[in-house]
Amino acid sequence: MAEEDPLQRYAVAVRSYLASPAVKEVSVLAGRSFTVAPLAGGEYNLNYLLRSGKERLVFRVNMASQINRDDQIVYEYGALELLRSSGVTPIPYHVDDSRRFIDRGIAIMEYLPGRPLDYRRDLPGAARTLAAVHRTQPAAGHGLISEKRPLRLIFSECQSLLEHYFLSPLGSAPIKGLLAQILDRLALKLPEERYFQQFPWLCVVNTEVNSGNFIVNDKRGTTHLIDWEMARWGDPSTDLCHFCSPLTTLWKSDYRFSDEDRQRFLDTYREAIGAVDLDRTLEERMRIKQPFVLLRGISWSAMGWVAYRSDYQGVRHADTWRTLQRYLDYDFIRKVFASVLA
């Protein structure tokens, strides 16, 4: 028997939630009757479009956490609250992690119509959106995970992710050896994180700036950034390196940054953020951070590869599995980490 689609299964729970006493606490619903339609489902969240007249909202159901938090949906909601003034992120309206009326944490937020980002024509908009996020400075006590030791934080996370692959009998011995070699090489570069401590430039970073997390509205000429489940308080190079990484661009496209496109993207970002001290140090920040961001991408992929072949508790997607197979290829990994292995 085919496994039931989680998007369809939880649609029933969403409708029940909207009919429950819980909605009395949600002013944006204001006693209206909403239709519920599946919008998008990733590995960690299910999203539904709520419609009532001209009103459109997103109902988000959290299925799992990438940062090992029981309060994952509350954490993401808090990040959106911090970024409310940025003008480029969804406005959050309601969060409920009580699990009284639905067995998962849920949030309701602004619906942003549009399409995913196209690297070949939307780089300026993405640069300006990231600049708008990075120049938004929340008050103290923001509650985000802080990159106090930015390289060590990523490296430790990658070690934990790679353990899934190293310990799995499903993993390839040559690939395990290659990944262990990459870890050893990057361990030697950990002292370089002193640069970020000597020249701090801290902001809210998304850490998952792939094309599917950008919403481009051609009619309005806007570009928004959604999905804030892994937000951190850290250095802007985290997002910029991730955005330019081939492990990001190749996830849902065949695009790789050329040197010219990368320069134009960063020039637009510099102009939009208007921070002289960041401008003069940006290339050095990215040089130090880039290999660790690449390590994070391949480590997550290795973990995901094992999970998809094992007892995975999240939502499975055929296109994700195809990409994971592509990334967990010996020659592909060697090419991505050529500069590290040289």
What is the value of pTM for the model shown? 0.93
**Predicted local confidence at residue 284, as pLDDT:** 98
pLDDT at residue number 66: 86
Map out the domains of the chain as residue ranges: 6-110, 123-341
Mean pLDDT by 10 residues, the chain (342 residues): 75 94 87 92 90 96 92 97 97 96 96 97 98 91 92 96 96 98 98 96 96 97 97 97 97 94 98 96 98 97 91 70 95 97 94
**pLDDT at residue number 333:** 98
Q: Which fold has domain 6-110?
A: Phosphorylase Kinase; domain 1 (3.30.200)
Which of 3.40.50.300, 3.90.1200.10, 3.40.50.720, 2.60.120.10 is the CATH number of 123-341? Answer: 3.90.1200.10
Predicted pLDDT of residue 297: 96
Give the integer Cα–Cα distance in Å for 240 and 124: 13
Which tokens sit at 295?
């390590």
Half-sphere exposure of 285 (CA within 13 A, CB side): 24
- Supply the pLDDT for residue 1: 40
- Confidence at residue 315, expressed as pLDDT on a 0 to 100 scale: 60
- Give the C-alpha separation, 55 to 60, whole Å: 16
Token pair for 119: 């690297």
* Residue 337: closest CA among 157, 180, 160, 169: 180
Distant-in-sequence, close-in-space partners of 293: CB < 8 Å, separation ≥ 6: 154, 238, 241, 242, 245
